[in-house]
Amino acid sequence: FCFLLLASSFVNYIAGNWLRDADSPGRKRWILIGCIAINLIVLGFFKYYGFFVESLAELLFQIGWQRDLLFLDVILPVGISFFTFQLVAYAIDRYRGEIAEPIGFTKLLFFISFFPQLVAGPIVRFHQVADGLRNLSRFKLDAEAVSEASIYLVAGLALKVLIADSINHFSAPLVVAPENLGIVGLGALVYGYTFQIYFDFYGYSLCAIGLGRLFGIRLPDNFLRPYSTLNPREFWRCWHVSLSNFIRDYIYIPLGGNERYIRNIFIVFVTCGLWHGAGFSFIIWGVFHFALVGGYKLV
Protein backbone atom coordinates (compact mmCIF):
# COMPACT_ATOMS: atom_id res chain seq x y z
CA PHE A 1 0.00 0.00 0.00
CA CYS A 2 2.90 2.39 -0.52
CA PHE A 3 1.11 3.82 -3.57
CA LEU A 4 -1.96 4.53 -1.40
CA LEU A 5 0.20 6.53 1.02
CA LEU A 6 1.85 8.32 -1.90
CA ALA A 7 -1.48 9.11 -3.60
CA SER A 8 -3.11 10.33 -0.36
CA SER A 9 -0.16 12.60 0.35
CA PHE A 10 -0.22 13.98 -3.20
CA VAL A 11 -3.96 14.73 -3.09
CA ASN A 12 -3.56 16.59 0.20
CA TYR A 13 -0.49 18.43 -1.11
CA ILE A 14 -2.49 19.71 -4.11
CA ALA A 15 -5.45 20.58 -1.87
CA GLY A 16 -3.12 22.41 0.53
CA ASN A 17 -1.78 24.56 -2.31
CA TRP A 18 -5.32 25.30 -3.50
CA LEU A 19 -6.30 26.30 0.04
CA ARG A 20 -3.32 28.64 0.20
CA ASP A 21 -4.15 30.27 -3.15
CA ALA A 22 -7.96 30.33 -2.90
CA ASP A 23 -9.34 33.84 -3.37
CA SER A 24 -12.60 33.52 -1.45
CA PRO A 25 -13.75 31.97 1.86
CA GLY A 26 -16.43 29.95 0.09
CA ARG A 27 -13.98 28.40 -2.32
CA LYS A 28 -11.58 27.56 0.52
CA ARG A 29 -14.38 25.92 2.49
CA TRP A 30 -15.41 23.67 -0.39
CA ILE A 31 -11.80 22.68 -1.09
CA LEU A 32 -11.39 21.71 2.57
CA ILE A 33 -14.65 19.75 2.60
CA GLY A 34 -13.64 17.86 -0.54
CA CYS A 35 -10.18 17.11 0.83
CA ILE A 36 -11.50 15.80 4.15
CA ALA A 37 -14.17 13.77 2.36
CA ILE A 38 -11.57 12.04 0.17
CA ASN A 39 -9.46 11.18 3.21
CA LEU A 40 -12.41 9.80 5.16
CA ILE A 41 -13.77 7.84 2.18
CA VAL A 42 -10.42 6.10 1.75
CA LEU A 43 -10.20 5.36 5.48
CA GLY A 44 -13.83 4.28 5.59
CA PHE A 45 -13.48 1.84 2.71
CA PHE A 46 -10.43 0.07 4.04
CA LYS A 47 -11.34 0.11 7.72
CA TYR A 48 -15.14 -0.04 7.88
CA TYR A 49 -16.29 -1.76 4.69
CA GLY A 50 -16.26 -5.19 6.30
CA PHE A 51 -18.03 -3.97 9.46
CA PHE A 52 -20.95 -2.40 7.60
CA VAL A 53 -21.27 -5.26 5.16
CA GLU A 54 -21.31 -7.85 7.92
CA SER A 55 -23.94 -5.80 9.75
CA LEU A 56 -26.19 -5.90 6.66
CA ALA A 57 -25.31 -9.36 5.39
CA GLU A 58 -28.00 -11.32 7.19
CA LEU A 59 -30.75 -8.91 6.20
CA LEU A 60 -29.74 -8.88 2.54
CA PHE A 61 -29.32 -12.65 2.53
CA GLN A 62 -32.91 -13.02 3.68
CA ILE A 63 -34.19 -11.09 0.64
CA GLY A 64 -32.26 -13.18 -1.84
CA TRP A 65 -28.79 -11.69 -2.18
CA GLN A 66 -25.93 -14.08 -2.47
CA ARG A 67 -23.78 -13.64 0.59
CA ASP A 68 -20.49 -13.97 -1.33
CA LEU A 69 -21.34 -11.00 -3.54
CA LEU A 70 -21.21 -8.67 -0.55
CA PHE A 71 -17.60 -9.22 0.38
CA LEU A 72 -14.37 -8.01 -1.09
CA ASP A 73 -10.97 -9.10 0.12
CA VAL A 74 -10.09 -5.76 1.73
CA ILE A 75 -6.82 -5.70 3.64
CA LEU A 76 -6.28 -2.91 6.15
CA PRO A 77 -3.18 -0.87 5.23
CA VAL A 78 -0.70 -0.50 8.08
CA GLY A 79 -0.96 2.87 9.82
CA ILE A 80 -3.87 4.18 7.74
CA SER A 81 -5.73 5.57 10.76
CA PHE A 82 -2.70 7.53 11.87
CA PHE A 83 -1.57 8.97 8.55
CA THR A 84 -5.16 9.81 7.57
CA PHE A 85 -5.60 11.89 10.73
CA GLN A 86 -2.30 13.63 10.07
CA LEU A 87 -3.39 14.46 6.53
CA VAL A 88 -6.73 15.80 7.78
CA ALA A 89 -4.92 17.93 10.37
CA TYR A 90 -2.57 19.24 7.68
CA ALA A 91 -5.49 20.27 5.45
CA ILE A 92 -7.37 21.99 8.29
CA ASP A 93 -4.26 23.82 9.47
CA ARG A 94 -3.72 25.00 5.89
CA TYR A 95 -7.31 26.21 5.80
CA ARG A 96 -6.91 28.07 9.10
CA GLY A 97 -3.68 29.67 7.95
CA GLU A 98 -1.63 28.00 10.67
CA ILE A 99 0.78 26.69 8.01
CA ALA A 100 1.76 29.72 5.99
CA GLU A 101 5.15 28.70 4.64
CA PRO A 102 5.46 27.00 1.22
CA ILE A 103 5.84 23.24 1.64
CA GLY A 104 7.31 21.02 -1.04
CA PHE A 105 5.81 17.64 -1.78
CA THR A 106 8.90 15.74 -0.58
CA LYS A 107 8.77 17.55 2.78
CA LEU A 108 5.07 16.75 3.19
CA LEU A 109 5.66 13.12 2.22
CA PHE A 110 8.50 12.86 4.72
CA PHE A 111 6.26 14.34 7.43
CA ILE A 112 3.47 11.83 6.71
CA SER A 113 5.60 8.73 6.15
CA PHE A 114 8.27 9.27 8.85
CA PHE A 115 8.71 5.65 9.90
CA PRO A 116 8.95 5.91 13.74
CA GLN A 117 5.41 7.33 14.06
CA LEU A 118 3.79 6.01 10.88
CA VAL A 119 2.45 2.73 12.26
CA ALA A 120 1.11 3.69 15.69
CA GLY A 121 1.71 7.37 16.31
CA PRO A 122 2.05 9.74 18.01
CA ILE A 123 -0.31 11.66 15.72
CA VAL A 124 1.84 14.62 14.73
CA ARG A 125 0.78 18.06 13.53
CA PHE A 126 3.02 19.84 11.09
CA HIS A 127 3.93 22.75 13.34
CA GLN A 128 5.26 20.30 15.94
CA VAL A 129 8.00 19.06 13.62
CA ALA A 130 8.38 22.05 11.28
CA ASP A 131 11.72 23.12 12.75
CA GLY A 132 13.14 19.62 12.47
CA LEU A 133 12.01 19.32 8.86
CA ARG A 134 13.38 22.76 8.03
CA ASN A 135 16.81 21.88 9.45
CA LEU A 136 16.92 18.25 8.34
CA SER A 137 19.46 18.79 5.57
CA ARG A 138 21.78 20.51 8.06
CA PHE A 139 21.24 18.10 10.96
CA LYS A 140 24.32 16.26 12.19
CA LEU A 141 24.02 13.44 14.67
CA ASP A 142 25.96 14.28 17.82
CA ALA A 143 26.59 12.74 21.22
CA GLU A 144 23.71 14.63 22.85
CA ALA A 145 21.17 13.37 20.31
CA VAL A 146 22.47 9.80 20.61
CA SER A 147 22.30 10.02 24.41
CA GLU A 148 18.71 11.29 24.39
CA ALA A 149 17.67 8.71 21.80
CA SER A 150 19.29 5.88 23.77
CA ILE A 151 17.43 6.79 26.95
CA TYR A 152 14.08 6.79 25.15
CA LEU A 153 14.84 3.58 23.25
CA VAL A 154 16.09 1.63 26.27
CA ALA A 155 13.16 2.79 28.40
CA GLY A 156 10.64 2.03 25.65
CA LEU A 157 12.03 -1.42 24.92
CA ALA A 158 12.11 -2.23 28.65
CA LEU A 159 8.46 -1.26 29.10
CA LYS A 160 7.43 -3.21 26.02
CA VAL A 161 9.56 -6.37 26.33
CA LEU A 162 10.16 -6.76 30.05
CA ILE A 163 6.77 -5.60 31.37
CA ALA A 164 4.09 -5.68 28.65
CA ASP A 165 5.20 -8.94 27.06
CA SER A 166 5.69 -10.56 30.48
CA ILE A 167 2.14 -9.63 31.49
CA ASN A 168 0.90 -11.01 28.16
CA HIS A 169 2.75 -14.28 28.82
CA PHE A 170 0.81 -14.55 32.08
CA SER A 171 -2.61 -13.40 30.84
CA ALA A 172 -2.80 -15.00 27.38
CA PRO A 173 -3.68 -18.49 28.72
CA LEU A 174 -6.42 -16.96 30.87
CA VAL A 175 -8.20 -15.49 27.85
CA VAL A 176 -8.79 -18.96 26.38
CA ALA A 177 -11.43 -19.88 28.99
CA PRO A 178 -12.37 -16.80 31.03
CA GLU A 179 -15.61 -18.43 32.24
CA ASN A 180 -13.55 -20.80 34.40
CA LEU A 181 -11.47 -18.16 36.18
CA GLY A 182 -13.69 -16.97 38.99
CA ILE A 183 -13.68 -13.49 40.51
CA VAL A 184 -9.99 -13.46 41.42
CA GLY A 185 -8.88 -14.77 38.05
CA LEU A 186 -11.07 -12.34 36.12
CA GLY A 187 -9.78 -9.47 38.23
CA ALA A 188 -6.20 -10.50 37.51
CA LEU A 189 -6.97 -10.73 33.79
CA VAL A 190 -8.68 -7.32 33.63
CA TYR A 191 -5.97 -5.48 35.55
CA GLY A 192 -3.25 -7.42 33.78
CA TYR A 193 -4.52 -6.36 30.37
CA THR A 194 -4.99 -2.80 31.65
CA PHE A 195 -1.29 -2.50 32.38
CA GLN A 196 -0.21 -4.62 29.43
CA ILE A 197 -1.79 -2.29 26.86
CA TYR A 198 -0.46 0.77 28.70
CA PHE A 199 3.16 -0.38 28.89
CA ASP A 200 3.00 -1.76 25.33
CA PHE A 201 1.74 1.49 23.79
CA TYR A 202 3.73 3.75 26.10
CA GLY A 203 6.88 1.77 25.33
CA TYR A 204 6.28 2.04 21.60
CA SER A 205 5.69 5.79 21.89
CA LEU A 206 8.99 6.23 23.74
CA CYS A 207 10.80 4.26 21.02
CA ALA A 208 9.23 6.47 18.36
CA ILE A 209 10.38 9.61 20.20
CA GLY A 210 13.88 8.16 20.54
CA LEU A 211 14.12 7.28 16.87
CA GLY A 212 12.92 10.76 15.97
CA ARG A 213 15.78 12.25 17.98
CA LEU A 214 18.26 10.42 15.73
CA PHE A 215 16.98 12.51 12.79
CA GLY A 216 16.58 15.80 14.65
CA ILE A 217 12.79 15.38 14.78
CA ARG A 218 11.15 16.01 18.16
CA LEU A 219 7.97 13.96 18.34
CA PRO A 220 5.46 14.93 21.08
CA ASP A 221 4.91 12.99 24.28
CA ASN A 222 1.97 10.62 24.05
CA PHE A 223 1.44 9.51 27.67
CA LEU A 224 1.54 11.63 30.84
CA ARG A 225 1.06 9.05 33.62
CA PRO A 226 -2.67 8.51 32.92
CA TYR A 227 -3.17 5.89 35.64
CA SER A 228 -2.13 8.42 38.28
CA THR A 229 -5.02 10.76 37.39
CA LEU A 230 -7.97 11.13 39.75
CA ASN A 231 -10.94 11.37 37.36
CA PRO A 232 -12.01 10.33 33.83
CA ARG A 233 -11.54 13.80 32.32
CA GLU A 234 -7.94 14.03 33.51
CA PHE A 235 -7.29 10.48 32.34
CA TRP A 236 -8.19 11.40 28.77
CA ARG A 237 -5.89 14.41 28.89
CA CYS A 238 -2.99 12.09 29.73
CA TRP A 239 -3.75 8.92 27.71
CA HIS A 240 -2.80 8.90 24.01
CA VAL A 241 -2.34 12.65 24.25
CA SER A 242 -1.83 13.20 20.52
CA LEU A 243 -5.19 11.56 19.71
CA SER A 244 -6.98 13.41 22.53
CA ASN A 245 -5.56 16.73 21.31
CA PHE A 246 -6.53 15.95 17.70
CA ILE A 247 -10.11 15.17 18.67
CA ARG A 248 -10.29 18.26 20.90
CA ASP A 249 -8.94 20.66 18.28
CA TYR A 250 -10.62 19.27 15.15
CA ILE A 251 -13.92 17.82 16.42
CA TYR A 252 -14.83 18.94 19.94
CA ILE A 253 -14.04 22.66 19.66
CA PRO A 254 -15.55 23.08 16.13
CA LEU A 255 -18.76 21.45 17.43
CA GLY A 256 -19.02 24.18 20.06
CA GLY A 257 -16.89 22.81 22.88
CA ASN A 258 -18.35 23.24 26.35
CA GLU A 259 -21.46 25.02 25.10
CA ARG A 260 -23.11 21.66 24.37
CA TYR A 261 -20.85 19.52 26.48
CA ILE A 262 -22.82 16.27 26.77
CA ARG A 263 -23.74 16.12 23.08
CA ASN A 264 -20.22 16.94 21.97
CA ILE A 265 -18.40 14.47 24.18
CA PHE A 266 -20.87 11.77 23.06
CA ILE A 267 -19.88 12.46 19.44
CA VAL A 268 -16.23 12.61 20.45
CA PHE A 269 -16.14 9.26 22.21
CA VAL A 270 -18.22 7.39 19.64
CA THR A 271 -15.84 8.76 16.99
CA CYS A 272 -12.89 7.74 19.15
CA GLY A 273 -14.31 4.23 19.48
CA LEU A 274 -14.84 3.84 15.74
CA TRP A 275 -11.34 5.19 15.07
CA HIS A 276 -9.86 2.46 17.25
CA GLY A 277 -11.61 -0.28 15.31
CA ALA A 278 -14.62 -1.34 13.25
CA GLY A 279 -17.16 -3.21 15.35
CA PHE A 280 -20.00 -2.80 17.81
CA SER A 281 -17.65 -3.52 20.70
CA PHE A 282 -15.70 -0.36 19.87
CA ILE A 283 -18.92 1.67 19.75
CA ILE A 284 -19.86 0.28 23.18
CA TRP A 285 -16.35 1.16 24.38
CA GLY A 286 -16.90 4.75 23.22
CA VAL A 287 -20.32 4.99 24.89
CA PHE A 288 -18.85 3.56 28.10
CA HIS A 289 -16.16 6.24 28.27
CA PHE A 290 -18.74 8.89 27.37
CA ALA A 291 -20.78 7.73 30.37
CA LEU A 292 -17.73 7.98 32.63
CA VAL A 293 -16.70 11.46 31.49
CA GLY A 294 -20.26 12.77 31.18
CA GLY A 295 -21.26 11.30 34.52
CA TYR A 296 -18.27 12.90 36.18
CA LYS A 297 -19.23 16.28 34.71
CA LEU A 298 -22.83 15.98 35.93
CA VAL A 299 -21.95 15.01 39.49
pLDDT tens, per residue, the chain with 299 residues: 889 999 999 999 999 999 888 888 889 999 999 999 999 999 988 888 877 777 777 666 666 665 555 566 778 888 899 999 999 999 999 999 888 777 889 999 999 999 999 988 899 999 999 888 888 888 889 999 999 999 999 999 999 999 999 999 988 888 887 788 888 888 888 899 999 999 999 999 999 999 999 999 999 999 999 999 999 999 999 999 999 999 999 999 999 988 889 999 999 999 999 888 888 899 999 999 999 999 998 88
**What number of residues does the chain have?**
299
- The span from the CA of 172 to the CA of 125, in Å, is 36
From 115, 114, 122, 208, select the one nearest 160 (Cα to Cα): 208
- The catalytic residue among 127, 169, 240, 276 is 276
Is residue 191 a contact partner of residue 239, using CB atoms and an 8 Å limit? no
Looking from the CA of 209 toward its CB, the CA atoms found within 13 Å total 22
Determine the longest span between alpha carbons in the chain, in angstroms: 68
276 given a catalytic annotation: yes
- The span from the CA of 248 to the CA of 258, in Å, is 11
Q: 60: burial class by Cβ within 10 Å (0-12, 13-18, 19+)?
A: middle
